[in-house]
Structure 1
Amino acid sequence: MPPVIPSQTSSARPHSLAEDGYAIAIGCAFIAMGIMLLKQASLVTGGMAGIALLLSYFIPWSPAALFILINIPFFLFAGKAMGPAFGLKTLFANVAIMALGLTMPWAMQIAKISPLFAALFGGSIIGFGILAIARHGAGVGGVGVVALILQKSRGWNAGRTQMICDIMILALSLPVLSLDRFGLSILSAAAMNAVLVVNHRPGRYIGY
């Protein structure tokens, strides 16, 4: 017998604030670790994480710090388009990603990492981090926020929308990365977006 999938009109119990905070914190930890792995392997990925990584090769700042700085213009946009609760949760998520990204090197040191592993695992856990945050009523800013708004308003698949934007972001990294690193960066973006394409489709559970 197939499992019963509750409809959006069922009497589902909304997530509590504590549940939202817990899930968003885990998602932020995944994103911060994924960025750290990709940076260690000299790779780029899609989304705002990819832009932050790309800028970190020109500016001697942490990708985590760059991540929140380039997201500042999107906080007000997120709040206006998706509501103040979404905007505040998105701000909290970005601050948490920055804090975790800045403190993680003191908690763990990576002496050696396979670039292929970094691309697949790093991209995948960033995708799961974005998924956890999105399912609890927040975004990670930038491309992710735009993708979620288009999914909510027009039913566009968030993963596919983000993948189109990622192609443009990765194209900008081509002059910076070697061809092998560029190919692995494409793989990391594909791994990240595959998580969203499979798990964040319109009509499926997207959080309460």
Structure 2
Amino acid sequence: MADQEQARKRMIGFYSMDPARHTPLEDAQGIFISAMVAALGLYLLNQVGLLTSGTAGVAFLLHYAFDIPFGILFFVVNLPFYYLSFRRLGLGFSVKTFGAIALVSVISELERRFLVIQYIDPFWAALLAGILIGFGLLGLYRHRASLGGIGILAIYIQDRFKIPAGLVQLAFDLCVMAAAFFVVSPATVLWSLLSAVILNLLLTINHRSDRYIAVR
């Protein structure tokens, strides 16, 4: 009780004096901005027909194979992982992750109404997308949220077994990329793999459980 009271006293309006805690408003703006950044990265990939990491990669595969809107698929593919999130990572993490996934799903579908790209080289799209999605995920991790699916599993494994989240995601991504050979061209898979490697290296280098505590 004393610790909780002390934590409340360190909250000044919308700003928390405790670096390990955020106010609801801090979480809301952090999750919204991170979702915007990640959605932009996903939009770039979609413009050149590439894939990416985690459940987003699965959603892209289904999108290219069946021409179903990516935003809908991304939201649906993540549904089975909410149970793991609730059981292992808590209600707060699950609610914020659900909100982040919903935001990315909606923004990725609205993006084309506000941003039209006439041409972008696949290499540049892969590079920028890997960086943008990586920074989006880092922002979400900082506010104890993720983009669901393998991200949820990766954070749990990192916090429990100290295996870097980026390496967990990279292993899953290799499986996604192998399946992609049946849906898209080999050149597309290679550019997509570059984007996934950049994303996961960014996470491995910059996200550490002793610096940013995703689950408390």
TM-score, structure 1 normalization: 0.90
Structure 1 residues 168-179: aligned runs within 5 Å: 168-179=175-186
Q: Residues of 2 paired with 1:104 and 1:84: CA distance?
A: 30
Q: Find the counterpart in structure 1 of residue 141 from structure 2.
A: 134
Question: Aligned AA for 2:195?
Answer: S
Question: Aligned AA for 2:163?
Answer: W
Q: Residues of 1 paired with 2:202 and 2:52: CA distance?
A: 14
Structure 1 residues 34-49: aligned runs within 5 Å: 34-49=41-56
Structure 1 residues 4-153: aligned runs within 5 Å: 12=19, 14-153=21-160
Alpha-carbon RMSD: 1.4
Count of equivalent residues: 198
Deviations 1:119-172 (A, max 9, x none): 010111111111111110111111100000111111111011111111111111
Larger Rg: 1 or 2?
A: 2
Does the aligned pair in 1 maintain the 2:141–2:212 contact within 8 Å?
no
> What SS does structure 1 have at the residue aligned with 2:52?
coil
TM-superposed deviation, 1:13: 5.1
Q: Any unmatched runs of 5+ in structure 2?
A: 1-17
TM-superposed deviation, 1:56: 0.6
Does the aligned pair in 1 maintain the 2:65–2:183 contact within 8 Å?
no
Match of 1:161 among 164, 168, 186: 168
Q: Residues of 2 paired with 1:150 and 1:87: CA distance?
A: 16
Q: Find the counterpart in structure 1 of residue 191 from structure 2.
A: 184
> What SS does structure 1 have at the residue aligned with 2:200?
helix
Q: Residues of 1 paired with 2:179 and 2:37: CA distance?
A: 25
Q: After TM superposition, where is structure 1 displaced by more than 4 Å over at least 4 residues in a row?
A: none
Does the aligned pair in 2 maintain the 1:32–1:64 contact within 8 Å?
no
Q: Residues of 1 paired with 2:136 and 2:194: CA distance?
A: 17
1:54–1:150 distance in 2 versus 1, CA, 3 Å: same
Counterpart check, 1:195 vs 2:202: yes
Q: Residues of 2 paired with 1:194 and 1:29: CA distance?
A: 21
Q: Any unmatched runs of 5+ in structure 1?
A: 1-10
Does the aligned pair in 2 maintain the 1:119–1:187 contact within 8 Å?
yes
Q: Residues of 2 paired with 1:160 and 1:128: CA distance?
A: 16
Deviations 1:72-103 (A, max 9, x none): 11112201110100111111111111111121
TM-superposed deviation, 1:182: 1.4
